[in-house]
Amino acid sequence: MTDPYVLDLSEVDETRVAAVGGKGAHLGGLSRIEGIRVPDGFCVTTDAFRRAMADVPPIDERLDELSRLDPEDREAIGTLSARIRRSIEETAVPGDIAAAVSSSLVRFGEQAAYAVRSSATAEDLPTASFAGQQDTYLNVLGPTAVLRHISRCWASMFTERAVIYRQRNGIDHRTVHMAVVVQRMVFPHASGILFTADPVTGNRKAATVDAGFGLGEALVSGLVNPDVFTVRDGEVVTKAIAAKERAVHALPDGGTREVAVDARQRERPALTDEQAVRLVGLGRRIEAHFGRPQDIEWCLVDDGFRIVQSRPITTLFPLPVIENSDERNDGENTDGNSGGNRVYVSVGHQQMMTDPMKPLGYSMWQLTAMVPMHEAGGRLFVDVTPRLASPTSRDSLLDVMGKGDPLVRDALETVLERDGFVPSLPDAAPVGPPSTGAPAPIETDPAVVTELIERSRTSVAALERDIRTKRGPALFDFLQEAFEEHKRVLADPLSMRALMAGMDATWWLNDRLREWLGEKNVADTLTLSAPDNITSEMGLALLDVADVIRPLPEVLAFLRDAEHLQDATFLDELAKTEGGAEAREAIEAYLDRYGMRCVGEIDITRPRWSERPTTLVPVILDNVRNFGPGAAEQRFEQGRRKARQKEQDVLSRLRALPDGDRKADEAQRMIDRVRTFIGYREYPKYGIVSRYFVYKRALLAEAERLVRDRVLTEKEDAFYLTFQELHEAVRSNRADERLIQRRKEAFRSYQALTPPRVLTSDGEAVTGAYRRDDVPAGALTGLPVSAGTVEGRARVILDMAEADLEAGDILVTTFTDPSWSPLFVGIAGLVTEVGGLMTHGAVIAREYGLPAVVGVERATRLIRDGQRIRVHGTDGYVELLP
């Protein structure tokens, strides 16, 4: 009969995490791989941990107290976790567990040296690596010492770092249990870490070997700089040999100590090139076994390698999922390189939403998009390889990308500079009759925009009417047809020509007026308060809501009592206050027009303002505090006057130039054109999101039915199924609960990843650079998208619902999709990490006359909340002020 408290490594594999923890399960799996040598040993199981914890006084009360602490209160967590560890270490190991451990030590060598290592059930899992959060003890001699160190490993589950990690990630302390791995000690000549993918760039074809002399603790603890070998395609392609002055060696009486390396040995490589290549070959076997890149700890003993640990590299951005792949979202997809080298561009950076999307969200976007898109890490990417391979389409792609986001263009050019990664193919011969040239130019006529807006409204109204009677599988058949109408509206030739007319006129004005007048970004002022901009209207309309609420003291008191506001009852409770009916009517009118919007609105699963109206409360209160009555109309008229004055100034200066009348006439035509069409730039997105909310309400009705039928636990579980999977669940009245749970875990892990602008099929995240020399030292470089210079207090805000802005503040955030626009009316400037010249935040910043710099890498981390900064919206950089 198997002992419940001890299992040999040969008895376990990666399916036994619940019994032996992540590290023990991985080591058991490693021991089964042909050619991989793992030091002998055994695991003290999680049953033993639970048995031992039952004897620790008073563990339950202290865990309850720990769970109530704020994860940011490090002092309180440190004090309480230290008390818990002390209680565990002072409690004797139960006799039956001690007997089982002693029996195993006799089999493996009672007087041998051992490594005693923690192995938690939430450790070294595919979506979360807990490296370094629990303890490892080396060169432990004798049964008494081994038992003492097993207790210490149990206690290490409550280190301050491990406790904070679990609390920040919503992991219940009681759901994590600690096993302990006890292995025969090896005394290596060299040791280190092997990453089977480049941990910095993500390149899956480049393996990195860190190596030093003696035990690996010297490297893990940062005591020495390691030798670093990069191995690709079976050869060392780069290496850096460090001066290794210190090493960690085992002591004869147990334990380890730091020693000086002989001066003659310090700059000798810890491994030969042949050994590094051989080690990587072993790593590839391990990677293939576990199905994803690995972080492997190794030892070199007598020219043979021993593997003492392997865990998944959880910081890598996943490879894109290719259609018809068996894997989607739940493991390391290996299909990103299907059909040769591929280059992918992020959709989220174009759409101003780089957060991960849930499966229903990204699958709906794929089904309604105009081009094929591939999911990776909960984000979507477009394969641009064919366009990069053709010289003609390559130039146009780089031009478009460069105008939108110079970092994307630079990253693509970096890939193109690599010999042979993207083969250059001849331009395809034209098929069919010869082209008749470019589409006929669109007339500068406001009626065109009026017609397009009416077309969109009519289409959405038809969708709302026709979907009402659709239920069950018939709804999904209807939606498939609706998606085709969705794409037809997006591809409307007149709409595309109107969009391009506005953008082309913007670029023409900026280029020509800089050439003729020496002034940058003149179009920013010329487009102030342009008509028909649904997104800027949305921000101004919330000022009108504030006008209604401002003179109502009981309503203001109700709104300020934010912690008691519940979305489900918010409007009803508001109406009960004095003046509340009037306030409710104003908010409902706003939601009727804009309630389909929200942060991250391209993900259909995100809660809309109509579903979560309290999101708007902080912005309304800011508007009440920072503005007076009639501010919306005043601001719009002020912008229109500035634009008109700028137009007159530009035309006057142009007429004074040689050939000035011609230049002024051309500029006048383009000014009329940009003011006619640039506002429409925002309307197609409004139409998309309006349709999405109709789709969502219908799908949620189906999800609620599945909850009533006990197919789903809660309606939001439907968000973790793709559209196709939800269709099947509705048809069959069955859903895979384990799949939903895996998707939830994967989504949580994706939130910790930063998506790259450009990703290759090798897994490399390619980062572009601005390549500028005109930015002051210490300033943060970005893309200038709205002219002007402003100095003020930086407010670093990651959640619109937590906004608390004063007049003159500068908003610093990750990205701004249209839903952020209501905040723009109350700020003095804008800085974002993501953005381009024609993305929504840039368009609205120009509309409101806000100096703005976008594409500032790591802005939310480099700029402190409350710090004074100066935004140079004309020249594209941000100064950090003392």
Q: Which residues are catalytic?
A: 840
Helix (H) or strand (E) holding 741: helix 737-750
How far from each other are the two terminal CA atoms of the chain, in whole angstroms?
70
- Rounded Cα distance between 656 and 832, Å, is 39
For 10-39, give the DSSP string: GG--GGGHHHHHHHHHHHHHHHTSTT----
CA distance 796 to 342: 36
3-class DSSP string for 474-499: HHHHHHHHHHHHHHHHHCCHHHHHHH
Residue with tokens 């710090």, as numbered in its chain: 867
Q: Position 396: which residue type?
A: S
Cβ atoms of 789 and 771 closer than 8 Å: no
E strand spans, 365-517: 374-376, 379-383
What are the tokens at 770? 């601005």
**Cβ count within 10 A of residue 495:** 21
Compute the distance between CA of residue 53 and CA of residue 34 in angstroms, rounded to an integer: 38
Torsion, Cα 545 549 550 553, to 10 degrees, reads -170
State the Cα–Cα distance between residues 587 and 619, nearest whole angstrom: 12
Cβ neighbours for 857, distance < 8 A, ≥ 6 positions apart: 407, 767, 780, 833
**Cα separation, 61 vs 651, whole angstroms:** 77
462 closest CA partner among 691, 692, 688: 691
- The vertex-537 CA angle with 536 and 543, nearest 5°, equals 100
Secondary structure class of 584 (helix, strand, coil): helix
* CA within 13 Å, CB half, 418: 12
Q: How many CA atoms lie within 13 A of 80 on its CB side?
A: 22
Q: How far is CA 648 from CA 644, 655, 657, in A?
A: 6, 11, 15
Which DSSP category does 229 fall into?
Answer: E
Q: CA dist 681 to 496, 528, 531, 532, 600, Å?
A: 10, 14, 11, 9, 19
Distance, in Å, from the CA atom of 586 to the CA atom of 581, rounded to the nearest integer, reads 9
Angle between helices 406-416 and 391-404 (to 10 degrees): 150
What is the distance between the alpha carbons of residues 637 and 221, in angstroms, rounded to a whole number? 63
CA atoms of 627 and 621, how far apart (whole Å): 10
The one-letter code for the residue type at 45 is T
* C-alpha R_g of the chain: 31
Name the token pair of 783: 């893309």
Query: Cα–chain-centroid distance for residue 770?
Result: 22
User: Which one, of 781, 524, 547, lies nearest residue 647 by Cα?
Assistant: 524
Both tokens assigned to 277:
């290549």
| CA 542 to chain CA centroid, nearest Å | 30
